[in-house]
Structure 1
Amino acid sequence: MAPEFSGPVQEIRRLFADRGGSGYGGEAVSQLQHALQAAHLARESGASDNLVAAALLHDVGHLLHDLPDEAPDSGIDDRHEGLAARWLSRWFGPEVVEPVRLHVAAKRFLCAVDPAYFASLSLPSQVSLQLQGGPMADVEVEHFRCLPHHEAAVSLRRWDDLAKDPDAEVPGIDAYLPLLEQALTLREGPPAP
């Protein structure tokens, strides 16, 4: 008999089933492929279950809005990280929500502190970087370093950048449902603003 999952986990599974086949912003993978690869990379690196959940869910904001896949090419930043953080904060604590909320800022941070990082970004990621504010200024870098979940966000960002292989074979969404269920029971603190 298959395990029963809570309403939030079923809703996440449905969202990926309904909208995960959409393109991932000019990359050669779908939203679902990207999410699964990011989660797999996190798990393979020994990340905590909460950070694996964050890796799986980091771009869920792309599935929640109705903008076209090519919105960045039209000069539109979908602000998916904030949308995702607000949506996820109904069910998950900061160990999951904050790395999701900060993963775009982590890209801006890495571009400011690591000269080789920008060159490693895919062209679509370079385009979206400009819409997201470009590399951080020094004062932003110092502020980012003071945030409690900044290191988790940087790790998530690196998996995000690598999770774009159309030929990668990784476990499907069902492999992560028990982990999501557990993360729900471990939530702590008030929802993110």
Structure 2
Amino acid sequence: MDQVSFTQMKDGTAEDYALLERLEDQFNEGLVERLKLALRKLDDGLSGYKVSRLEHSLQSAARAEADGADDDLVVATLLHDLGDELAPYNHSQLAAAIIRPYVRAEVTWIIHHHGLFQKFYYGHFYGEDRNEREIYKDHPWYQKCVDFCERYDQAAFDPDYPTPPLEHFEPALRRVFARKPFDPDVIGEEPAGGFDSRV
């Protein structure tokens, strides 16, 4: 097996880092398969809802697709709860980190903040401020996140909704994750303030 010569990164050579870059590129070719595997794990996750987390994710993405959303938003919607298993208290930020190199900044912002915005529907039942999302009321993407939660996320717990299988979304996943990471022509610019660490 090919390995680098160093035991500390500071001692690496150009050849070492060329090797690592080649191996990383090969590994990253399997990203979509790993994402699909992670999504399938949501089928056995958190219980109590009328649908599994996987079905919720598929249904959310199907709703976005039916609404005419582009690949960025459909794929982001499919992956929006991917962090539930490993980061239950900041799942939104984990999902946003996964998509950030590949989609426009607006979509990453929506996914990053959807957990906070979603509290509008239930926060008051836990003694929390359901309107906490209002701290972003002047943000240019505020309404987009409100719409995401209303149309795609909170509405996607219906066992009777015609939900396509994961394979239906594979072409869009492959198109998005085949992009050059952090391509400024794709990502664009974030507005002042960027991503708030509070949510």
Q: TM-score range by the shorter chain?
A: 0.5 to 0.7
Cα distance in 2 for partners of 1:189, 1:57 equals: 21
TM-score (norm 1): 0.67
Residue 153 of structure 1 is aligned with which of 138, 145, 166?
A: 145
User: Residues 42-75 of structure 1, C-alpha deviation per residue, up to 9 Å, x if partnerless?
Assistant: 111122221111211111111334x6xxxxxxxx
Indicate the residue corresponding to 1:85 in structure 2: 96
1:188 has 2:183 as partner: no
TM-score (norm 2): 0.66
SS at match of 2:158: coil
RMSD: 3.0
Tell me which of the two structures has the higher relative contact order, counting C-alpha pairs closer than 8 angstroms and 6 or more residues apart: 1
1:26 has 2:48 as partner: yes
Cα distance in 2 for partners of 1:97, 1:135 equals: 22
Number of residue pairs matched by the alignment: 158
Cα distance in 2 for partners of 1:181, 1:147 equals: 31
Indicate the residue corresponding to 2:116 in structure 1: 105
Note the C-alpha offset of 1:35.
0.3
Indicate the residue corresponding to 2:34 in structure 1: 11
Note the C-alpha offset of 1:36.
0.5
SS at match of 2:159: coil
User: Residues 66-85 of structure 1, C-alpha deviation per residue, up to 9 Å, x if partnerless?
Assistant: x6xxxxxxxxxx22112222
* Runs (5+) with no aligned partner, structure 1: 68-77, 112-117, 119-125
Residue type of the alignment partner of 2:130:
P
Residue type of the alignment partner of 1:136:
N
The alignment-based identity, stated in percent, is 27
Q: Which has the larger radius of gyration?
A: 2
